[in-house]
C-alpha cells in the first residue's frame, strides 16, 4: 500500500472518509488548506451520513478540484477540462474497489450504501445509532472496511493527479 493510501486508511479510523482522503492527499501533494479540509466534514458517510455518494470518492474529487479546478466562475474551459480526470477517478475508483474487495458483480456506481452492501452484505443507516453500532461491529472502521475504501480513493486520485 502506498503512503498516501496508508494515511487515508489510518485517518478514517477517526471517522470522516471524505476528510481522511482529502487530508492524505493535501499532506502528500501540498494542496489545499485548513479551510478546504473543514469543507469536507459533512461529505462523509455518503453526504451527511445519508448513504448517498461515497465520501471517500468525494474527498478525492475535492483534491482534484484543488489541483485542476477553476478560480473564476466564468472560466468554463477549465470547468470542462476538469471533468475528464474527474471521470477517470470515478472509473479507477470503482475498478480498484472491485479488485481489492473481490466483488462478484461489477460496481455500477459510487453510492455509499451500494458499496456498503458489497463489503458488509448489507447497508447501514449511519444516522441511526443502533445501525451505526452494527456498522462498527461489522468492521466499519477496520482495516478491511471503509478505511480500505479511503485508501483506494486516495491511491487512485493520487495516481491521476500525478498524471496531470
Q: Compute the distance between CA of residue 117 and CA of residue 143 in angstroms, rounded to an integer.
A: 17
Q: Supply the pLDDT for residue 112.
A: 97
The answer to whether the beta carbons of residues 12 and 147 sit under 8 Å apart is: yes
Task: Average the pLDDT over 135-155 and give the result.
Answer: 96
Task: Average the pLDDT over 127-148 and give the result.
Answer: 96
Q: Model's pTM, two decimal places?
A: 0.95
Residues 6+ apart with CB under 8 A from 157: 21, 25, 60, 61, 63, 64, 89, 93
Domain boundaries, the chain: 3-162
User: What cell does 14 get?
Assistant: 477517526
User: What cell does 151 get?
Assistant: 485508501
Q: Supply the pLDDT for residue 162.
A: 95
Say whether 45 sits in a helix, a strand or coil. Answer: coil
Task: Average the pLDDT over 27-44 and give the result.
Answer: 96
Amino acid at each position: 500500500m502506498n503512503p498516501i493510501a496508508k494515511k487515508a486508511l489510518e485517518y478514517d479510523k477517526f471517522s470522516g472518509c471524505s476528510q481522511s482522503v482529502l487530508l492524505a492527499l493535501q499532506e502528500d501533494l501540498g494542496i489545499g488548506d485548513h479551510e478546504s479540509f473543514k469543507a469536507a466534514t459533512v461529505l462523509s458517510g455518503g453526504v451527511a451520513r445519508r448513504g448517498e455518494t461515497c465520501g471517500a470518492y468525494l474527498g478525492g474529487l475535492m483534491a482534484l478540484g484543488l489541483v485542476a479546478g477553476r478560480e473564476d466562475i466564468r472560466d468554463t474551459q477549465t470547468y470542462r477540462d476538469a471533468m475528464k480526470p474527474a471521470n477517470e477517478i470515478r472509473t479507477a475508483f470503482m475498478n480498484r474497489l472491485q479488485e481489492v474487495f473481490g466483488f462478484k458483480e461489477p460496481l455500477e456506481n459510487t453510492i455509499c450504501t451500494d458499496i456498503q452492501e458489497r463489503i458488509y452484505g448489507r447497508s447501514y443507516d449511519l444516522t441511526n445509532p443502533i445501525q451505526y453500532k452494527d456498522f462498527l461491529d461489522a468492521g466499519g472502521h477496520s482495516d478491511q472496511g471503509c478505511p480500505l475504501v479511503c485508501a483506494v480513493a486516495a491511491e487512485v486520485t493520487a495516481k491521476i493527479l500525478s498524471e496531470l
